[in-house]
Amino acid sequence: MKTKRNLFLLIVLVLIATYAAHRYVTHNPIPSTAQLKPAPDFTLPQITGPPLKLSDYRGKIVLLDFWATWCEPCRAEIPHLVDLQNKYGTQGLQIIGVSMDDSPDPVPAFYKQFKMNYPVVMGNAQTGEQYGGVLGLPIAFLIDRQGQIRKKHIGATDAAVFEKEVTNLLAGK
Amino acid sequence: MPSKRTALLLAIILACLTVATALAFQASQIDSSHTITIDDLLKTLQSSKAEKPLLIHVGSHVLYSQAHIPDSEYIGPASDPAALHRLRTRVESLPRDKFIVLYCGCCPWTHCPNMKPADDLLHSMGFTKVKSLYIPNNFGTDWVEKGYPVAKGE
């Protein structure tokens, strides 16, 4: 009986430790203003509209998402971005997708299939290099109202992490 | 009744088995005997004696042109039939014991859509020394940021 109780306690401890580790890994404090860098400006062709200039969105919180139609983790992440845009768009969030597809041909159909509700532009190697090298997808940057990069995420990011960071920035933190 | 020590050991073994099982379902479908690690490739490239492989990039051109392994050739994303055709044409006349290394690095290894089609094609053509470069996360994280040699552009 005592052994069974000890085993139960051990399992509970392991679960608590796992949760704590998960929180530690996913909770990344947003850098202080002393560490910030301005988001490089660009003007890129938009899939569904005129060319888009990034600095026109100064005053908004911008989530700049580098992705591609063939990228499976991107495809899993995009529905969450659509939800975020729906939820916080009126509060000042603007998600901008930068497709790193070699050709724009597959992008409009993808845009429609995934019901993307934010602008998508066609990026290129120069755009990638401006942002320090986009050498794997997805990569996302969170940009504050002053156009400073506050966070960079390499690889698919948990929706809850994005939401926490977006709400913090919207609240001025 | 098992002792405390035995119970602890059993719990640890169970946890390890659970993690290992979970990881196994995420493993790439490329046979591990068809892969080469970054460390092993670097040793080969740096060695004056080792046979140098034909390096072929089978991923996106936008990523390739930002950074790629020096002296590698670009074919295109092997998930695209047109790029697979180009790959077939490129290697068709080569001796079947030619040492070839395929690589991509567009996204995590377990999600890459390009490596397996390229690996399958070359093995089906009878090539016996084809290796797929195991890049666990992406080319930026696992190669460029480690300071390994890169070239840019075409």
Instruction: Determine how many CB atoms are found less than 10 A away from the CB of residue B103.
Output: 27
For B109-152, where are the alpha helices, taking DSSP H only?
115-124, 139
Answer left, alpha or beta for residue B147, where phi above 0 means left and psi between -120 and 50 means alpha. left
Backbone angles phi, psi at B100, to 5 degrees: -125, 135
Average pLDDT over every residue of A9-36: 58
Task: Catalogue the E-assigned strands of B52-103.
Answer: 54-57, 73-74, 99-103
Amino acid letter, residue B67: A
Shortest CA gap B138–chain A (Å): 5
CB contact under 8 A, A135 and B138: yes
Could you read off the pLDDT of B73-122 as tens digits, one per residue? 999 999 999 999 999 999 999 999 999 999 999 999 999 999 999 999 99
Residues with Cβ < 8 Å from B84, sequence gap 6 or more?
B78, B117, B118, B121
Rounded to the nearest integer, the mean pLDDT of chain A is 89
Which of A11, A135, A139, A154 is most worth mutating to test chain B (most B CB atoms within 10 A of its CB)? Answer: A135
- Give me the residue label for tokens 């020590």: B5
Better-predicted residue by pLDDT, B154 or A32: B154
Could you read off the pLDDT of A81-132 as tens digits, one per residue? 999 999 999 999 999 999 999 999 999 999 999 999 999 999 999 999 999 9
- Give me the residue label for tokens 């901008």: A96
Residues of chain A found within 8 Å of residue B61, distances taken between Cβ atoms:
102
Better-predicted residue by pLDDT, B8 or A104: A104
Length, in residues, of chain B: 154
How buried is B88 (Cβ within 10 angstroms: 0-12 exposed, 13-18 middle, 19+ buried)? middle
Nearest to B141 among A72, A123, A154 (CB): A154
Shortest CA gap B38–chain A (Å): 16
Question: Is B131 in contact with B100 (CB distance < 8 Å)?
Answer: yes
Interface of A with B in 87-116 (CB under 8 A): 100-102
User: Is pLDDT above 70 for A172?
Assistant: yes
Determine the longest span between alpha carbons in chain B, in angstroms. Answer: 69
Predicted local confidence at residue A34, as pLDDT: 54
User: Is pLDDT above 50 for B25?
Assistant: no
Better-predicted residue by pLDDT, A145 or B26: A145
Residues of chain A found within 8 Å of residue B13, distances taken between Cβ atoms:
none
What's the whole-model pTM score? 0.80
- From CA B118, how far away is CA B114, in angstroms rounded? 7
- From CA A114, how far away is CA A91, in angstroms rounded? 23
Q: Any idea what DSSP says for residue B143?
A: I
Rg (CA), chain B: 19
Give the residue among B104, B93, B103 at the shortest CA–CA distance from B127.
B93
Predicted local confidence at residue B24, as pLDDT: 37
Predicted local confidence at residue A45, as pLDDT: 97
Nearest to A135 among B11, B61, B144 (CB): B144
Average pLDDT over every residue of B42-46: 96
